[in-house]
Structures are given as C-alpha cells and as structure tokens.
C-alpha cells in the first residue's frame, strides 16, 4: 500500500489500547497534535502587550487636527479644465483684426485687481458696451468688508468676464520664502477652482515678480502672469518701455502693461496708449483698474465716469474694426496656446512657534515678519528699536489721537511663513514682555481654511507697567476651520505700549484621566508586560524540552502500534506497516512467552 493511500474502509473504527492516542494519518509523522502550554504562553504575551499599549495611550488626549491640504485642491490625477469653458485658454488661433498699416492685431484688455466690492458697479458698463474684462481675485479677502462675496464672483463670471488669481492675501511675493510663495499662488487658484471657476490668468500683487515667482505661477497651473508696468513712452523712469506688449507676448509670465490707472488719469491718457500702439504696428495693451471712487481708497481710486467714457470709446473702435477687446485668458490662449494645468497642492505650513518672537531683526516701522495693523478711528505710530546697551529689541506702538478701535503689531497675516499653524480644538499659549502707559491686552486673529484672517478673541486687560512685566494667557480651543493664529498687544486709548519676547505655542492636550488612575494603568502595563514575558519564556522552554526527548532530533517519540485482542496471525493477513516503514511481522503472544523463557 502506498504511504499516501488511505486504509480500507471497513465501516468500523480500528481498535486501540485504552488511553492511547489515535495514530497519525498516513504521510505525517506521529506525535502530539497540540502544545497547550505554548499556546497559552503566546496568548498571554499578546494580551499583555495589548494591555500595555492601551494603558500608555489612554493617558493622553490625541492631537486634534490634520495636515493641511491646499483648499479646494483636486485629487491627484484630476483632469485639466475644459478648454471650451469661459476664461479657459484655448490653442485655437483667432482672427484678430489688423492695426491700421500694420501686420499685427491690436488687442485691448480691461483688468480689475483685488476683487473689490465697488467693482461690481463696473458690470453694467461692460455689459452695455458688449465688453468683457478680467477680474483678478485675492481669495483670502472674499467675503470681507469692502470685498466681493462668492455670490458676486458668480455674477461677474456669469456676465462673461474672466476670473483670475491674485494670490491669497496680496503679499510682495519676491520677498517671501519659496514655500510661502507656492501657497499664496497655488492655494489661491485651488480655492477659485473649488468654487467652480476656471482661473488661468494670474496678476502679481504690487506688480512685483522675479524669475522664481514666475516659475511658481507656471508650476501652479496658470498660463500667464501680469505685471503693472512696461508699456508707455520711453523715459528715465521706464527706459525699457514699449508701445505695446507683443502678440504673442515675449514672456506670457511677465505681461507688460501701462501704469496703474489712478485718480489723475484722464480719458485722453487712456486713448493715447491705444493710439500709440496703433501707430506702432499693433500689439496688446492691458489696462489695470482698482477702486471705483471711494473715501480712503488712496491714489488707485478712479471715477466711474472714466470707465464709462473709455468703454464707450473702445466699443466704437471695435465696431470700426481697428481693435478688439478680449480678456487676458482669451488673448494668451489665442496667441500662445496651451492648456492650464490642474490645481496643485502647495507645501503645507508647519510652523508651531513665531519665527522671530524676540524681534531680533528689522528696521524702521516693525520687525521682520511683523506688520502694523488696527481698526477704527485713531492715529497710530509704529517704531522698531533694535537691541542695544539699554536692553532687548522691542516695538513701540503709540496712539496720539483716539476715537475708537485699536492699533496693534501682529505677525504678518500670511499662510504660515510668519504665523503659527494650529488646528480646530487646539488652545494656544500666548506670552510676551511689555511696558505701557495704558492698559493692554492680547488681541487674537485666526486663519480660516481659505487663507482669510478674521478677529477671533482677546485676553483680559493688564494694567500699565513702568518696567518690563510679563503677560501670558491661553486662548480658548480654536473654532472649526481654523488653520493658524496670530496675536499682538493692542493700544486702545491715547498712550503707548512697548513689547518684546513674544511666544505662541500650542497648549499640551489635557489628560483624559486623573494622575492617580494614570499611575495605576502604568503599573498594570508593567505587570502585564512582565507576565507576558514570563509566559513566553515558559512556552519556549517547554517546546525545547519536548524536542530533546527520545525519538530523534526534531521528531516526536514514536507511538506504539495497538495490540488487538485478535491478530493477523490467526487470519494470515498482510502485516506490512501502512505508513511505509520496513516490513515487520506481528508475533503471537505464545511466541513472545517462549522468547522470555529462553
């Protein structure tokens, strides 16, 4: 019989001696099928390790929050925007009309920066004249006072205008670190995309760019970047100026324009830029508008009458076939071609403390990475004093005239280069050294998931201090959708506050259990680990001793064959061992007794 063939099925169990184990199946070495002590030891060790881990973890609350992901960033592998959608660059060539006497078309673009609420009043003018413009948006300002809301942006786009990017919070990008620059550009575009727009055009805040910033604009998926200079009469102030940007532009990530339109700009000035380009053979002239006339808007404020007049003049020129008015995205798409890339996720902010809370670097108004802020009606002065023999560096905020509000020096409200990163539910410990002539307090701002900043809370007041004194306070847990925090000491009356040695750090998560119970759990963890180790040792020893018993190394002792009450010697059956061992003969009891007698 083959060693792997089953024995004959007789329908009855084979006989066995009382208390003897069943023989091993054919093809397997005989031995004990189970090792109870070893199994118990393994189970005990696993339980001990589990108890120890639970006890150690249970003593501390888990950290709240997750890494940051770029707002509205698409999942990896997301497809590029549909080129047929409004405002998306297209590779299809366009038949722009030729300028008089030239071989190059003349294109004019009307652009509007910052997403200011007053620009909504431009929409009727554009619509009535059959024109469309490009609106460059700072997403961190959307919904803030004096800025457009998301509903406004939807209305702007629905009227046929282009929505472009202008960074999250309007910093001077060449002065930022590379990661901050990427966050400002990429997060702005990702947020606009998540809101349902197709941003392909970017405008540099303050018109300031550098090769690294231009590369970041391209890497974030935009097809162009617009400056705020480069077109106009050649002069000492602009020796490299030209009459128009080229078609296609010399560098789509450094689009040149006439200077910003300001309070003193006239209709004749605007027409002169266009006619100069016409007489020079054509090209592209993008204009930049900011505020419609308003109080406290500075020199960038212009009368709505100016746009009314200029739009009517452009519409007449377009009907005459001497020029066309196109958005920036249309112009770049029709002259350069290519498609905008998908939204990108920028490196997440990770700072857990203020980069320079000691105020060691800076000059003039405020230290580096800080900014003067305030609200209400008051007159404030900010002055930075470097370290010297008299003491540490410090900032002085002085209010000389006060009606309401306050004046405060804050870390620059950015996306993480100068501010502390936090998460919902986390408290922040604030501390500083101060001296003052008036009571002061911490005022605290928080950053939202879209990068906008808003006032959050304030600490209790502390009294005036003639010499350096400490102030410290823990904020409440951060509200939902909080990604950053910034704080400074406020002056809310006529007087001054000097400050230095700022600290902002997350408060350690509170324990979920009392100290006494934690001690019991830790002791239990140690005992459980010891028991588990002991069980493992016992199990290994038991296994080793069993392997050393007779029967060969690594082989359990042989189990003797059962002695049946009646044997094959009476029947003459084959006595070969069914397991494939050497053939042997089963002897009768009488023969064995004769052997013993001999």
Domain 362-506: homologous superfamily in CATH = Galactose-binding domain-like (2.60.120.260)
Q: Cis omega before residue 248 (within 30°)?
A: yes
Residue 277 has pLDDT above 60, yes or no: yes
Using a cut of 0.85, tell me whether the model's pTM lies above it.
no
Once rounded to an integer, what is the mean pLDDT over residues 29-53? 50
pLDDT in tens, 146-201: 999 999 999 999 999 999 999 999 999 999 999 999 999 999 999 999 999 999 99
Residue 581's pLDDT is 44
Residue 589 has pLDDT above 90, yes or no: no
pLDDT in tens, 525-571: 788 788 878 877 787 777 777 666 555 444 555 555 554 444 443 44
The CA-atom distances, in angstroms, between 307 and each of 109, 215, 262 are 13, 33, 12
Between CA 43 and CA 49, with CA 46 as vertex, the angle to 5 degrees is 150
pLDDT in tens, 312-325: 999 999 999 999 99
pLDDT in tens, 508-524: 866 556 667 767 777 87
Once rounded to an integer, what is the mean pLDDT over residues 379-403? 96
Q: What share of the chain is helix, strand, coil (3-state, %, to 5)?
A: 30, 25, 50
Dihedral sign of CA atoms 109, 257, 140, 440 in order: negative
Please state which CATH number belongs to domain 106-335.
3.20.20.370
Separation CA 439–CA 462 (nearest Å): 6
Task: Give burial (CB, 10 Å; 0-12/13-18/19+) of 91.
Answer: exposed
Contact call for residues 355 and 369 (beta carbons, < 8 A): yes
Q: SS3 string of 261-282?
A: CCCCCCHHHHHHHHHHHHHCCC
Once rounded to an integer, what is the mean pLDDT over residues 122-134? 97
Separation CA 559–CA 588 (nearest Å): 20
Per the listing, tokens 């509007």 go with 112
């Amino acid at each position: 019989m083959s060693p792997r063939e089953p024995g004959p099925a007789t329908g009855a169990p084979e006989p066995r001696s009382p208390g003897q184990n069943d023989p091993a199946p054919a093809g397997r070495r005989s031995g004990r099928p189970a090792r109870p002590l070893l199994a118990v030891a393994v189970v005990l060790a696993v339980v001990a390790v589990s108890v120890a881990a639970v006890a150690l973890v249970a003593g501390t609350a888990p950290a709240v929050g997750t890494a940051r992901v770029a707002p509205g960033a698409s999942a990896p592998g997301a497809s590029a925007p549909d080129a047929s959608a409004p405002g998306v660059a297209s590779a299809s060539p366009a038949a722009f009309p030729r300028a008089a006497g030239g071989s190059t078309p003349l294109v004019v673009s009307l652009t509007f920066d910052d997403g200011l609420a007053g620009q909504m009043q431009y929409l009727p003018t554009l619509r009535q004249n059959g024109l469309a413009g490009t609106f460059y948006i700072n997403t961190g300002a959307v919904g803030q006072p004096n800025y457009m809301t998301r509903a406004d942006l939807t209305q702007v786009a629905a009227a046929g205008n282009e929505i472009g990017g202008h960074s999250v919070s309007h910093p001077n990008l060449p002065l930022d670190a590379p990661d901050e620059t990427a966050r400002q550009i990429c997060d702005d575009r990702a947020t606009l995309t998540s809101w349902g727009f197709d941003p392909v055009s970017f405008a540099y805040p303050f018109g300031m760019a550098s090769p690294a910033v231009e590369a970041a604009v391209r890497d974030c998926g935009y097809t162009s970047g617009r400056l705020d200079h480069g077109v106009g009469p050649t002069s000492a102030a602009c020796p490299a100026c030209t009459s128009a940007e080229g078609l296609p532009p010399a560098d789509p990530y450094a689009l040149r324009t006439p200077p910003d339109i300001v309070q003193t700009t006239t209709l004749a000035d605007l027409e002169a830029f266009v006619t100069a380009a016409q007489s020079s053979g054509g090209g592209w002239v993008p204009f930049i508008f900011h505020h419609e006339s308003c109080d406290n808007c500075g020199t960038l404020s212009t009368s709505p009458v100016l746009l009314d007049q200029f739009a009517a003049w452009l519409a007449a020129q377009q009907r005459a076939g001497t020029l066309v008015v196109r958005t920036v995205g249309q112009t770049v798409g029709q002259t350069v071609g290519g498609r905008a890339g998908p939204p990108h996720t920028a490196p997440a902010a990770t700072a857990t403390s203020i980069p320079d809370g000691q105020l060691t670097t800076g000059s003039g108004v405020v230290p580096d990475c800080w900014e003067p802020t305030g609200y209400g009606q008051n007159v404030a002065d900010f002055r930075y004093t470097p370290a010297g023999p008299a003491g540490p560096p410090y900032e002085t905020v002085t209010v000389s005239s006060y009606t309401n509000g306050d004046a405060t020096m804050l870390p620059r409200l950015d996306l993480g280069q100068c501010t502390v990163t936090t998460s919902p539910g986390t408290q922040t410990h604030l501390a500083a050294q101060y001296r003052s002539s008036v009571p002061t307090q911490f005022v605290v701002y928080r950053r939202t998931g879209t990068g906008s900043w808003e006032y959050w809370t304030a600490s209790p007041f502390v009294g005036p201090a003639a010499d350096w004194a400490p102030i410290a306070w823990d904020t409440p847990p951060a509200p939902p959708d909080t990604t950053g925090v910034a704080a400074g000491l406020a002056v809310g009356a006529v007087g001054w506050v000097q400050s230095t040695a700022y600290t902002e750090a997350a408060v350690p998560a509170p324990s979920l259990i009392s100290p006494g119970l934690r001690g019991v759990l830790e002791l239990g963890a140690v005992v459980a680990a010891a028991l588990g180790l002991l069980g493992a040792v016992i199990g290994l020893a038991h296994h080793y001793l069993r392997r050393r018993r007779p029967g060969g190394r690594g082989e359990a002792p042989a189990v003797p064959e059962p002695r049946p009450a009646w044997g094959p010697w009476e029947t003459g059956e084959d006595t070969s061992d069914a397991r494939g061992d050497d053939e042997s003969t089963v002897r009768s009891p009488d023969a064995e007794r004769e052997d013993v007698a001999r």
